[in-house]
């Protein structure tokens, strides 16, 4: 029998195969519900960064949030050909590509500032990464905010110093740069999939649950649960979008259904939709109103087309 020779004595490197982290879509594969982290989380980057640069980044975020962006009172549609020509002239520079978070990107938001490009991105591990494209230092700031996939990140429409995020584990948080904290504003018993701003100023949210429910969340109250919620006539819900003008109306996507509901008619038992759109042949990933008028609804699904 041949003797086994020591790898250490032979001075050989030992190759260890590290299993890859499961990055499957939470909306398809449901594992055990992970523990929710309650209470405020300090806005301190988990990755090593220069402290002075981080302070400067916070000041920049505050300053660009005080400038109000004027929205046009009317919208005029231009020819699609001229818009396509402008898109064809776009270029991608190497300095405009950056890995902002550790896992795969699951959500993204851009600060409405007209002078700076500040990007927030959520990943499959519950992290949120922040990046200012115009800063000379290419620092990325990463924060472990959720315990499951960060499905939604969005700056407050009336005060973009607030960054709201939704984690699949069932919590919604509000990042406040003035106090450097991610406050917990809502937690659910089950999985959350999406939210949209129900009020124009962003103080009231409409959150969707995977188990086919909608909840109205008021950020101004200390109550971290919803007093207004309703069960929907659908197997499950992936996304919710509020009509930009008639804000009592919302469209939800789930299973093969695209349904329009009136938030004022939400019931704890089954809430009937006010309109049912054409059914898809497979699961609908999202449905959104057009942002200016809400006259159109765009849906995406597992089918190889948009509707």
- Render pLDDT for 185-206 as a digit per residue (tens, 0 to 9): 999 988 999 999 999 999 999 9
- Looking at the structure, tell me whether residues 296 and 179 fall in a common domain: no
Residue 223 in any domain: the answer is: yes
Query: At 121, phi and psi to the nearest 5?
Result: -135, 140
Residue 249 in any domain: the answer is: yes
Residue pLDDT, tens place only, 283-300 = 788 889 998 889 999 888
- Looking at the structure, tell me whether residues 179 and 209 fall in a common domain: no
Please state the domain count of the chain. Answer: 2
Q: Is the pLDDT confidence value at 18 over 70?
A: no
Per cent of the chain over pLDDT 90 is: 46
CA distance 165 to 134: 24
Can you give the residue range of the structural domain that contains 193? Answer: 189-307
- Looking at the structure, tell me whether residues 176 and 307 fall in a common domain: no
Residue 260 in any domain: the answer is: yes
Radius of gyration in angstroms for the set of CA atoms belonging to the chain, rounded to a whole number: 22
Domain boundary among 187, 217, 233: 187
Best CA proximity match to 285, nearest among 242, 248, 239: 239
Residue 199 in any domain: the answer is: yes
Q: Which string of b and e fits 16-29 if b means at least 16 CB within 10 Å?
A: eeeeeeeeeebbee
Best CA proximity match to 194, nearest among 219, 165, 218, 220: 165
- Looking at the structure, tell me whether residues 231 and 253 fall in a common domain: yes
Residue pLDDT, tens place only, 106-143 = 899 999 998 889 999 999 999 999 988 887 666 789 99
Here the CATH number for the domain that contains residue 159 is 2.130.10.10
Domain boundary among 139, 163, 187: 187
- Looking at the structure, tell me whether residues 227 and 238 fall in a common domain: yes
- Looking at the structure, tell me whether residues 42 and 130 fall in a common domain: yes
- Looking at the structure, tell me whether residues 242 and 173 fall in a common domain: no
Residue 200 in any domain: the answer is: yes
- Looking at the structure, tell me whether residues 179 and 201 fall in a common domain: no
Helix (H, G, I), strand (E, B) or coil at 108: strand
Domain boundary among 142, 171, 187: 187
- Looking at the structure, tell me whether residues 178 and 248 fall in a common domain: no
pTM of the model as a whole: 0.82
Residue 233: per-residue pLDDT = 80
Q: Which of 7-16, 41-50, 108-117, 135-144 is predicted most confidently?
A: 108-117
């Amino acid at each position: 029998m041949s003797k086994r020779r020591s790898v250490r004595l032979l001075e050989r490197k030992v190759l260890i195969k590290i299993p890859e982290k499961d990055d499957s879509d939470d909306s398809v594969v449901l594992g055990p519900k992970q523990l929710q982290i309650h209470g405020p989380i300090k806005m301190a980057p988990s990755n090593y960064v220069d402290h002075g640069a981080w302070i400067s980044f916070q000041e920049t975020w505050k300053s660009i949030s005080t400038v109000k962006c004027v929205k046009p009172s009317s919208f005029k549609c231009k020819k699609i050909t001229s818009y396509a020509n402008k898109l064809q002239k776009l270029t991608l520079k190497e300095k405009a590509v950056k890995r902002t978070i550790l896992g795969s990107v699951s959500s993204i938001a851009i600060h409405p500032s007209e002078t700076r490009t500040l990007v927030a991105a959520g990943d499959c591990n519950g992290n949120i990464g922040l990046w200012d494209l115009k800063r000379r230092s290419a620092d990325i700031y990463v924060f472990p905010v959720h315990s499951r996939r960060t499905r939604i990140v969005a700056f407050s429409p009336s005060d973009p110093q607030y960054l709201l995020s939704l984690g699949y584990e069932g919590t919604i948080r509000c990042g406040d740069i003035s106090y450097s904290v991610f406050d917990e504003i809502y937690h659910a018993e089950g999985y959350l999939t999406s939210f949209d701003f129900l009020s124009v100023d962003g103080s009231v949210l409409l959150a969707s649950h995977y188990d086919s429910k909608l909840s109205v969340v008021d950020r101004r109250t200390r109550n971290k649960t919803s007093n207004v919620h309703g069960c929907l006539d659908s197997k499950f819900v992936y996304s919710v979008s509020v009509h930009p003008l008639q804000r009592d109306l919302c469209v939800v996507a789930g299973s093969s259904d695209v349904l329009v509901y009136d938030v004022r008619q939400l019931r704890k038992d089954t809430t009937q939709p006010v309109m049912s759109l054409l059914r898809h042949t497979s699961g609908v990933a999202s449905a959104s109103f057009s942002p200016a008028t809400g006259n159109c609804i765009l849906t995406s699904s597992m089918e190889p087309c948009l509707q």
